Structure 1
Amino acid sequence: MSGVSASEYLSQQQELEDEARKLMPWDPKSCTYEKGALRQQVFACRSHGKIGVCYSCSIQCHTKCDIVELFTKRCFTCDCGTERDTQESETGFKCQLRRNTEADIPSLQNVYGHNFEGLFCSCNKEYDPDSSAVMLQCVQGTECNEDWYHDYCIVGKDEGKTEAKAKGEEILAEGMPPLDTFDAYICWKCVSKYEYYFKRILSHPLSDKIVAHKIAHMALKSETSLNDNRKRSIEASEENQGEYSLFLKDDYSEQLKKLKDSLDKDNDKLYLFLNDLVPFLLKDEPVYEEPEEVEPSADELVSQMLQNAVDRDQVIAGISAFHTMKTRLSEYLKPFAETGQVVRKEDINDFFDTKKN
């Protein structure tokens, strides 16, 4: 049996614990269904009827499922264990965390776009982790359900970019503004739906402090369309010149507040748009997060175990004996750690054999 020094062993264990906490920082012990509609991390489960589930349920209830991470969605209630959840559980519980035996009523506020099928962007493609494409989420999302867009689709270009993922590089499509020049993105679908209001914002004196870039979106045309009817393709392209995306500056929320305050709240439609329909653009809604997992100490674990098993006098005696053993073991291992000497299995056995005698 190969040995390891006490200091090396402790260091390795700490590294493993730190890595685990980075990958799974929150304690997945509670479903968010009973908390109602939240801005939260949502995962699409394609095995249970393309429902959306919370962080905890994605880990505890859907470990064997086809899961797609959707990142954050506003005003979403977990579907796990509701009537939308089509899969029968082997345990008899609809949700393993709520432990409900009857299906709960699903939220009527949830909106389901193609993201819940695992598809993203206007090109309806699945996320490709090996692609060098940059993807942006629409911060407004009232028309697109907070969809994610490829940079080349935003500007209406073909993908055709050099892959550079292995080098850790991101190559922006031609026509895309540098990522460090804006803070948020609003897609052309949401802009077109509420074009009146965005024209008002763009014509306002504060627009220069709100909008960093206005990028036209040109819909892609198939090769067949270009080859068979060049004139029709050109005409269609001209019709789409009015569609555009907006890229917002770092301080856009504060500036939108100032713009709203300058409007007549009783008679101006733009005021109602900002105040009632898109208030999250003026004040960002925090993302709900489960409490971070707190690892109990050895003392706490022993105390919990003893309290669950024996009466108070035995608990006190047990904890006292544990602390005595802990102190003696620390003293025994101290020379090993100080000198870098390897702790062998035989050394540990010798320690406990000595204590028995």
Structure 2
Amino acid sequence: MADNSVPSFKASDLVIQLSSTLKAKSDVFTFGTVFTDHMLTIEWSATEGWQAPLIQPFGNLSLNPACSSLHYGIQLFEGLKAYRGDDNRLRLFRPMLNMNRMANSAKRACLPAFDQSELLECIRRLVEIDQDWVPQSDSASVYIRPTFISTEPTLGVKKPAQALLYVILCPVGAYFNTGGKGLSLWADPKYTRAWKGGTGDCKMGGNYGCSLSAQYDAVDYGCQQVLWLYGEDHQITEAGTMNIFLHWINEDGDEELATPPLDGIILPGVTRQSILELTREWDEFKVTERYLTMSQLCCALKQQRVKELFGSGTACMICPIEDIVYQGENLHIPCQEENSQLTSRIAKELTDIQYGRTPSDWTFLV
């Protein structure tokens, strides 16, 4: 339902300009490099407010070299997917969670508010127009990337008076190519992904750009991703761009699925929230949001209390973690074949919902 208290663009005002030439589609592509035929753009200014949404042929943006998003990182983004079900219907997975998170990020970035329901309807129309790009495959989908940037041409550090919200789509397959193995992580407290009072709970580009140096250090140590630590006690926070879950027998002897709490430095992932809700509904073991440290993990590994460690996210879905390089030691994490089937069970239940095999109010039909 639209929130009429928020000055916003309206999906009913949407203008559609279809491309005269459609691109050839390929089944072979690298994640995030091939884009569909159309995009959504919505302009805003402090003087005129939101303009009518426009779906137009995919193309380059024209930006003033002084626009403050380029100089000061006043921008944010989101990520969700469209899935083609066995019934050939297209579905989005819990898209209002993404819309709400985007609105929270916009508030933190001092970008203008918008009606999340109106944006979702504009995105639905865009996906509908480019629906032929959504693969008929359990291992592929179309990734939806809403982006919100300041376009004000000024070198002054201030709240933007001009902005652009746009959405692009790209067909995607698997995010990681691990050959069926779990990920290897490099854990070193010299780098910090986010901190208390910062923007770690917002989906802003600066959180990711500043992670690249650590990512390449991880590769130098023979690992694929970074395990981000925080504080003097080396709290486990996130793995690469994923939320992280530990399935173990905890200190009290209880079987537990644990993930770090949303304390301002953790991104509130949609897949993360779905895993928590799903496993709590099972009521088969403890499911908690709690602080976890490397010393706790190392102790549990030595005592063989760890069942699985895995990451979660929209791009990767569920990704088992097999090794961690920490303080000169290679810590081997039991993988699902050796111990538990939890990751594969969670992945199956979520994908069954996403592709429509299991009816659920978590899906939004296009």
Normalising by structure 1, report the TM-score: 0.20
Highest CA radius of gyration, 1 or 2? 1
1 or 2, which has the higher helix percentage? 1
Q: Which has the higher contact order (CA 8 A, sep 6+)?
A: 2
Higher fraction of strand: 2
